[in-house]
Amino acid sequence: MPALKSIDDRIDCISVLFEMNVGSYLNLVEKAYDDRGGLRNQRSPLKTTSARRIRQRMKDDISKGAVFPPVVIGVTVEDDLFQNVADIDVEKIEKKVLEIAVPERIAIIDGMQRTTALKEAVDEDAQASQRAIRVEFWISKSQDALVYRMLVLNAGQIPWDLKKQISVVFEPLIEEAKKNTRASRIIEYGQGRRFNPGEYSSSDIAEMYIAFSSRKTSVDTQEVLTDEFTKLDIVESLSKYDVRDLFFRSLDILIHMDEAFSSYKEEGDAIRTAGRAIFDKQTARVGLLVAIGMHVLGRAGAELSDEAGKKLEGVEGAVGNFCDKFSKMSNKEQAEFIKLDVLNELLVRRAGQVGRYERGLFLEAFRVLIEGDFKVSDMEVCWRAQM
């Protein structure tokens, strides 16, 4: 089968489709597995009885020469490599794609279960490695474009775990966040917990990205099923903006406020300050990021404004003045301003659906703060905004 090349002008991607033998494909993916210790956060092989039966049927089909739908691999490259692929003759493109598809650049966007079936088939019968499989490579300069492709590809399919697939494609973004934001530490799985302002887990950052992109606080990344409208809202924002950069800047706003609030201490504070406790809560982080997203990108489902960057500049300037003013206050003045007693009283009132209640409380609080250009006499008006 000759290679096929198509240009996706909507998200500036190149699609290249060609056949590989199963053994070569598995070697390509295995390198990525070895490099990362397994594709973290990708949907793992399903273990239900029905899933095992389906994979067994896949293995039987492989042995009989069945043709599977293409597995989809995302490849993120630099501008010059992207242009090389765009310009190269289709007769030479297969070799070029395999040259650039190195482990640190690739992620499986669609086909984890098929890959598992192929691995099992080869383990049981080495001859299966010589079978042909179609592989589609999506080559992009932007992680956002791969997420867009992944979301469109998976829309309507169940079960799927949005958080895990986002985390797989955005693993390089977590590395970028370490370089391009004020985050003092991004905590990987098993590496401990948050001790200081500006420290967040990689999974929490993934959740914040989803919330920011969809402008919705009701993002339960632990659930396998995800609201289709959330996917569509993320798709819309990804297709129009460089959301990654807007998100990084918004994350810096969170970090700036986290650092400022953490300067407030109460009597008896040891390792954790009373002020740091606000953004210890993921509900508060999500609330702030969604409030910024709504202000900058517009409400979910609404027509998006091209003024996103300028709007965010305004928030950055206002939050800078807000944090500088708070940090210069005496501890007594900080206590009178931050009104933690009011916040804590409101937080303990709710008995059921605590997460949803807290997200709503913090969203409304930070919306008031943003809409007021961060000029409030104290935080009580913000904490009580949802009432």
Average pLDDT over residues 227-235: 64
pLDDT digits (tens, 9 = 90+) for 27-39: 887 765 555 423 3
Cβ contact 10:142 at 8 Å: no
Going by pLDDT thresholds of 50, 70 and 90, the confidence category of residue 170 is low
Average pLDDT over residues 211-215: 88
DSSP-assigned letter for residue 103: G
pLDDT at residue 230 tops 70: no
Per-residue pLDDT tens digits for 56-66: 888 788 778 88
CB-neighbour burial class of residue 42 (10 A; exposed 0-12, middle 13-18, buried 19+): buried
Q: Contact at 8 Å (CB) between 205 and 187?
A: no
Average per-residue pLDDT in the chain? 83
pLDDT band (50, 70, 90) for residue 14: very high
pLDDT of amino acid 128: 85
Q: Where are the domains of the chain?
A: 4-141, 147-383
Share of the chain above pLDDT 90, in %: 43
Query: Is residue 105 within 8 Å of 68, Cβ to Cβ?
Result: no
Any residues with CB less than 8 A from the CB of 301 and at least 6 apart, and which? 229, 233, 236
Q: Determine the pLDDT at residue 120.
A: 86
